[in-house]
Structures are given as C-alpha cells and as structure tokens.
Chains A and B, each alone.
Chain A
C-alpha cells in the first residue's frame, strides 16, 4: 500500500516557465513533508519542507503548498532553470521515519 504517491513519472517544462510537481498521501498522521532532488549517481539532497500546521513555505524559486483536507502536496519552481532537471521525490514523515513517493523526473527544455 503506497502511502505517498507521485502519479506523474515525468514532466517536461520550458525554461523560464513554472514547474508544478504533485504528491498525494493517505496517512493523516504524517506531520512533516519534504521535497528532495536527485541527480544521477548522487544521493537525494534536501530542497524544502513544510510542517503540517502550515499551508505554504517559500524558499527563493521554490514554494511548497500543503492541502491537508485533500492530503495533497505540491512543489512550484518559478522560473524553471536547466539545472532544475532532476528526479524529485516527495516524502512524508512522522518521528523522522520518511516515506517516499516514487519520484517525478523533471526535464527543463531550453
């Protein structure tokens, strides 16, 4: 049973436009949500997080939105840059045990 789902395996966006990556979860006990970025042959690197008591967190070009009633999480990247091309994982946490989604491969086209 997949508790955290990223239903889009891939996404292609033009450079300079907005990239929106989506994530759904089923367990209402999760209290912390994170996005990780992964390049090939490297480990995931932390990008941005949000506590379940908030609905938005912003860090530069990256904004994470949380809709608890819908159990939905999204990551907005504006403007998208070529270096943003990577696999993005959303993760949900309770007491630091992370549950990951399957990942979405984002490709930024020039």
Chain B
C-alpha cells in the first residue's frame, strides 16, 4: 500500500525554468492538496482539489498551477521558477466529507532549489 507518492524527491531548477511535481495516491481519496514548508513558517496551502475536475486556490497560489484529471493524480506545475519558490513541497490526500474533517495523509516531500 503506497499511500501518497511524490516524485521527484529532489530537484534543482534555474530561474525561469518550468517543471511539474508529481503526486499520486492509491487510497481513492477525493481531497488532495499541495503545501510548501519554509523555515519558521510551518506548512502553507498552495492549491487543493475536492475531486476530479475541481481545483481551488489556497493561501499561496501565485506562480503555481494545478489540474485534477483523475482521482489518483494531482500534479503541481511551476510555470517560471523563481528563487522564492525554493522550498520543500508536500502533497496530501484525505477522504472528503463536506463540512466534516478527516485527517490528511502526506507524501514524503519534494525538496526544490531554484538558483
């Protein structure tokens, strides 16, 4: 049972380059989300999705795009990388129960450095 799988684990980009961080889950969770973790700031929500075809912005969405064509996959795209996007990125998934809350399961993270 893989849970939430993120690839790659590490990536170095040059300023202006684009790339896609992959996230896949095998738990049939409807809700998926992306967070970034920066020193002294905890994890901050970038984008989230409550199901295939539905996405919405979180707290820090600028510079990132997402799409949700299947229940399993939720890729995060950096359109034009900037040094401010150097961070550790976590993908998470959870059951969706509308107004009710359930715990999120996190991937192992992608450490991204933009030079």
Contact = CB atoms under 8 A, between A and B. Distances in A.
Contacts of B45: 97-99
Given A95-B99, A97-B48, A46 B104 contact: yes
Given A42-B108, A44-B90, A102 B42 contact: yes
A32 B96 CA distance: 14
Interface string A18-53: 000000000000011010100001111110010100
Contacts of B105: 46
Interface in B38-78: 40-45, 48, 58-59
Given A43-B4, A43-B108, A44-B106, A100 B44 contact: yes
Contacts, number: 65
A46 B107 CA distance: 12
Contacts of B42: 4, 6, 89, 100-103
A42 B41 CA distance: 17
A51 B44 CA distance: 21
Contacts of A51: 101
Interface in A3-22: 4, 6, 9
Contacts of B99: 95
B19 to A, nearest CB: 20
- How large, as a class, is the contact surface on chain B? 20 to 34
Interface string A60-103: 00000000000000000000000000000101011111111111
- How large, as a class, is the contact surface on chain A? 20 to 34
A41 B109 CA distance: 8
B74 to A, nearest CB: 14
A89 B104 contact: no
B43 A100 contact: yes
Contacts of A9: 40
Given A43-B109, A95-B99, A100-B43, 9 more contacts: A31-B101, A36-B106, A49-B101, A94-B101, A96-B97, A96-B102, A96-B104, A101-B42, A102-B41
Interface of A: 4, 6, 9, 31-32, 34, 36, 41-46, 49, 51, 89, 91, 93-103
